[in-house]
Structure 1
Amino acid sequence: MGDKERLASIRTGVDQLLTAQARLLWETWTRGAAPNLEASLAGREALFSPETVAFVKDARDRSEGDERRALALLHAFLVGEHLAREAAAGSPAAAGRLALTWEGRTVATERVPALLALEPDPERRAGLERAWADAERRGAAIADARWRGIAAAAERIGYSSFLALAVELRGEPIRRLGALANSVLGETDAEYRALVDALAHVEMGTGLAELRGRDMPRLLRAGEDARAFPTGRAAGDVGKMLATIGLDLPGRPGVVLDLEARSGKDPRALALPVEVPRSVRVSFAPQGGATELRALLHEMGVAAYYAYVSTPMLEFRRLGAVTSETWGGVFEDLAGDPRWLAERTGLDDSHLVPIVRAAAARRLHRARTLAARVLVEIGRAGKREGSPAVAKAILERAFARPVETDELQLFLLDRDPLLESADALRALLLAAQGEAFLTARSPPSWWHSKESGAWLAAAFADGSRLAPADLARAFGVARVDASALAASSRARAAAAGIRQAGREGPSSPRSLRPEAVTGVAP
């Protein structure tokens, strides 16, 4: 078999694997079937062998243009799958999910943020955070063993450090990712301080400086007004919006929308690219609430992207998570847009202002958390830079408040040495840039414009052909940065009546009626 035929065979194998895994996940998600993703790997072990990984890397290095971009995505995928399999084979099996005891009940650690959001007593939140940190510390040995296994497997295929591997997986030099994260903290600092401080005073009767990490889940759930997010409305509203701009998913060949509740079905929204673009599926069951609406907007945006992909290249159809997350984020951010909310709900300003304020703070907090994660993980590769004291300083800069021991430990125990957070950060920033671009093209409400839909469909057609920096240029800006996020945050803060230090601005909410909201501010 020649190199060309071998590469075609690898691509076909990856396509078939992703289809098999998506079908299995669909059955698990929609019917409660027992997950068995390992079954999809049977007979495909050669796809992830060191020899295959090396072959694709060599082909990438000899290629140019679109082929090089495609093979870079393919190589990153194969490396990730190879390391995951090696780590699973070489690490000790965990006894089960990490858990803690709270009020006589066993609680999985992943449920703790939801409990913190519901807990009104500050002292009880502190106790719950302490129990959470203790549980995570008890499980640290298992996580450490897993990462040691990944490091050893990476070294066997030529990567001497996690940072060297992260460069391959993220497609950017570490210094650029660090510079981006650092710039995010600088460019959004004033907006973050103003929004979170205002939200804290209104929702918790305290200022930003008095907040602690355990308070953030409760603070950021603000704006959950049942009148704005009634059960049963989300699917219809999102579908109508997409149809208005010409991206009518029910009428798109191969799109399956499973939007009904039933026993055994996971109610959370999920888009699955089964065979792109011939089979794209969305699962969702209505429950109500702002979180539901955000998730459905995101997943329907992702589904629209995959449904309109037309490139024949496997990698551009199926790989490149930054691209799909960017488009999902563009639609998700409508859930915090004052004009869209006013049109959708018909509520008066007293009900809309808390929603806008909380959504803007939530998005900025996520961006700054991701930026801090990138900087802390890069710092782990050094000695002094990787110390807990330096990590604490990074977090206190990111969150603009004191960070206590338990919060710091929880952050450090949640490791990300391969910098997946850098991809999530770039997608979030690109989504804000996409929002600004669409608003400038079709002001003031791009979601009413067929032109917006036509532009999006054309952009979707190329799949992930454009690297993040190239996608930013398609949005009319020079690079991926936080300027659009900061501008959008200022506009939404102004709509919610928040005056930013050092800027002129209203001290009470301006009207959020559609005729009064101007969209993204310069």
Structure 2
Amino acid sequence: MPLNVTAYEREAEQLNEELMREGLLTGTGEKETYEVREIYARHAHLFEPDNVRARLEERGDTRTLNLADFAVEGHIGLRLAEDSERLVNAELQATVRLNGQEAPYRSAPVMIQNQEDRQRRLEWDRAYCVVMESLNPLYSEIWTRTRQIAVELGFGDYRSMCDELGRLRLDWLRGAAEQILQATAPGWTERVARVLESVGASAEDGTTADISHFMRARRFDDAFPAERLLVCLKETLAGLRIRMEEQANLHLDIEDRPLKSPRAFCAPVRVPDEVWLVIKPHGGQDDYNSLLHEAGHAEHFTHVDGRLPFALRALGDTSVTETYAFLFNNLLFNERWLTRHLGRRDWSEFLEFNRFCETWMLRRYCAKLLYELEMHSLDEERARRLYVETLGKHLRVRINPERFLADVDEGFYVAQYLRAWMLEAQLRSVLERDFGPEWFAEPGAGEMLKGLWALGDSLDAPALAEKLGENGLCPDALIGSLMDN
């Protein structure tokens, strides 16, 4: 007998809290192992076929749509638990070896990024891809079974399942991605060539490892001291009339523990009553970028109206919370914000660096979407070729074919990111129009954001764009922002 909506939602919230708390404890370094199998076992009936079918049949408003998406995601996750665990454990145990040296597979990308010597960088990248290729059969099995389950649940295929449940409008998004790629194409090959030259590569043999090394950008670290990291965040929030120290539901973890995640993260354990912002300050522009991004998530979750049902507080279109995260980390593109919080200096080189990185990531995600829209209907050899051709064409560097499966996110999350990119540009345009270029220091902007945050996940990205006075989601503001810069 399937649970009714109210009972299902109540237990879904319990499961979510337990999973979030487990992730929090391991992320803060207070637990050595991530243990979720027992948690899922306690709530496994949520994802049994009768409950999943009930949620799919009840779809109507945003609340029931969000619960249906949650049920299907959990159903697939539960059925693939052993496969996923096998892959994760294989990655954790894998070692990248080169000339008698070795590095854990999962930390190898950071090590590769930090290699100053280009020959060593390429050798380590090749060794890393050899290990990745050995993991591809595990990725392949997971994707094969995922597509089968989508059909078993009554959807035409995996793509249509994600499109329908996520309300992604993938065909429209393809057109938007192509528009963005076309608009940012003029001069792109030359920009990439200059970047490659700066790290000892050429336009003919440049790789993604070279670009990754460029993005590490140690030369800017002195401008972003660790001791100013938290101060900058608090000052920024104060400008929006948000007193971080008075937010009883926002918990800050700044303790240094050996096993603590080096990157900032947000854990919305109970929205809005218990939200954690976890940081391990070490300084540098990347540290500021990740903290501001996670703070955008945290402020969204802490301001959600607690009277909303769980499905409208913590489930739904992730494009929305990513929009607020992008809004905060994009303050690093604002010279007025940089000067106000980090001092008066010549920021032109850093801003140019940021513009390149943003355009690179945007073009990469647009290309990834074009690839992912096709790859699920192709055999693996054709998918591998398409991956190399599509990303190589739009990024203008050599692409490692071994990444053709590992580079694909579940549930077309690439689409969520692209929607968030567009919505953030639309939101920022409204804030600048109504409150000026220093909107981040205007209490009125803070009140506007609080009103949007209170909505939680009750509106998806297109509906939120309409609430801002826009004609739905549109790439024009994003393209305009990139062109203005």
TM-score by length of 2: 0.91
**1:411–1:191 CA distance, 2 compared to 1 (3 A):** farther
**1:422–1:415 CA distance, 2 compared to 1 (3 A):** same
Q: Is the 8 A contact 1:137 1:413 kept in 2?
A: no
Gaps of 5+ in 1: 493-522
Q: Is the 8 A contact 1:87 1:153 kept in 2?
A: no
Shift, 1:235, TM fit: 0.8
Match of 2:98 in 1: 102
**1:92–1:167 CA distance, 2 compared to 1 (3 A):** same
Q: Is the 8 A contact 1:100 1:135 kept in 2?
A: yes
Matched residue SS, 1:233: helix
In the aligned structure 1, how far is the partner of 2:286 from the partner of 2:233? 14
Deviations 1:115-156 (A, max 9, x none): 332223333332222222211111111111122222333333
**1:411–1:360 CA distance, 2 compared to 1 (3 A):** farther
Match of 1:510 in 2: none
Q: Is the 8 A contact 2:206 2:398 kept in 1?
A: no
Matched residue SS, 1:100: strand
Match of 1:40 in 2: 39
Match of 1:499 in 2: none
Shift, 1:344, TM fit: 1.8
In the aligned structure 1, how far is the partner of 2:73 from the partner of 2:297? 22
Match of 2:150 in 1: 154
Gaps of 5+ in 2: none
* Pairing of 1:138-149 with structure 2 (within 5 A): 138-149=134-145
* Pairing of 1:264-275 with structure 2 (within 5 A): 264-275=259-270
Q: Is the 8 A contact 1:377 1:416 kept in 2?
A: no
1:426 aligns with 2:419: yes
* Pairing of 1:2-151 with structure 2 (within 5 A): 6-33=4-31, 34-60=33-59, 63=60, 68-89=61-82, 93-94=86-87, 96-97=90-91, 98-151=94-147
**1:424–1:110 CA distance, 2 compared to 1 (3 A):** farther
Q: Is the 8 A contact 1:271 1:283 kept in 2?
A: yes
Q: Is the 8 A contact 1:163 1:417 kept in 2?
A: no
In the aligned structure 2, how far is the partner of 1:309 from the partner of 1:191? 43
Shift, 1:52, TM fit: 1.0
In the aligned structure 2, how far is the partner of 1:35 from the partner of 1:91? 14
In the aligned structure 1, how far is the partner of 2:216 from the partner of 2:223? 14
Q: Is the 8 A contact 1:69 1:465 kept in 2?
A: yes
Q: In the comparison of the two structures, how many residue pairs are matched?
A: 478
Shift, 1:414, TM fit: 2.7
Matched residue SS, 1:312: coil
TM-score by length of 1: 0.85
**1:417–1:386 CA distance, 2 compared to 1 (3 A):** farther
**1:345–1:92 CA distance, 2 compared to 1 (3 A):** closer
Q: Is the 8 A contact 1:191 1:489 kept in 2?
A: no
Matched residue SS, 1:281: strand
1:396 aligns with 2:389: no
Give the alignment partner of residue 473 of structure 2, picking from 480, 486, 492.
480
Residue type of the alignment partner of 1:70: R
In the aligned structure 2, how far is the partner of 1:432 from the partner of 1:103? 47
1:322 aligns with 2:319: yes
Match of 1:295 in 2: 290
Matched residue SS, 2:86: coil
1:353 aligns with 2:353: no
Shift, 1:454, TM fit: 0.2
Shift, 1:10, TM fit: 0.5
Q: Is the 8 A contact 2:208 2:398 kept in 1?
A: yes
Shift, 1:208, TM fit: 5.3
In the aligned structure 1, how far is the partner of 2:83 from the partner of 2:339? 54
**1:391–1:40 CA distance, 2 compared to 1 (3 A):** closer
Deviations 1:415-449 (A, max 9, x none): 34631211122122222222222112211211110
Matched residue SS, 2:28: helix
Give the % identical residues: 23
Q: Is the 8 A contact 1:224 1:290 kept in 2?
A: no
In the aligned structure 1, how far is the partner of 2:212 from the partner of 2:277? 28
Q: Which range is displaced more, 335-344 or 278-287?
A: 335-344
**1:137–1:77 CA distance, 2 compared to 1 (3 A):** same
**1:272–1:365 CA distance, 2 compared to 1 (3 A):** same
In the aligned structure 2, how far is the partner of 1:426 from the partner of 1:87? 28
